[in-house]
Amino acid sequence: MESCGSAHYWARQMMELGQKVRLIAPQYVRPFVKRQKNDAADAEAIVIAAQRPEMRFVEPKSELQQPKAVLFRARERLVHQRTELVNALRAVLYEYGHTIPQGIVHLKRIEALLDESNSDLPSLVREECRDLLAQIGEKTVRWRPKRMRHDGCRRCQWSAR
More confident residue, 82 or 51: 82
d(CA 146, CA 73): 10
* Residue-level pLDDT at 157: 46
* Residue-level pLDDT at 76: 92
pLDDT digits (tens, 9 = 90+) for 103-135: 888 999 999 999 988 888 999 999 999 999 999
pLDDT digits (tens, 9 = 90+) for 81-97: 999 999 999 999 999 99
Average pLDDT score over residue span 64-77: 89
* Residue-level pLDDT at 34: 83
* Residue-level pLDDT at 160: 45
* 98 contact partners, CB below 8 Å, separation of at least 6: 113, 121
d(CA 139, CA 133): 10
Confidence grade of residue 9 (pLDDT, cut at 50, 70, 90)? very high
Task: Please count the other Cβ atoms lying within 10 Å of the Cβ belonging to residue 89.
Answer: 23
In the chain, count H helices and then E strands. 6, 2
* Residue-level pLDDT at 124: 94
Calculate what percentage of the chain has a pLDDT beyond 90.
42
The pTM of the full predicted model, rounded to 2 decimals, is: 0.69
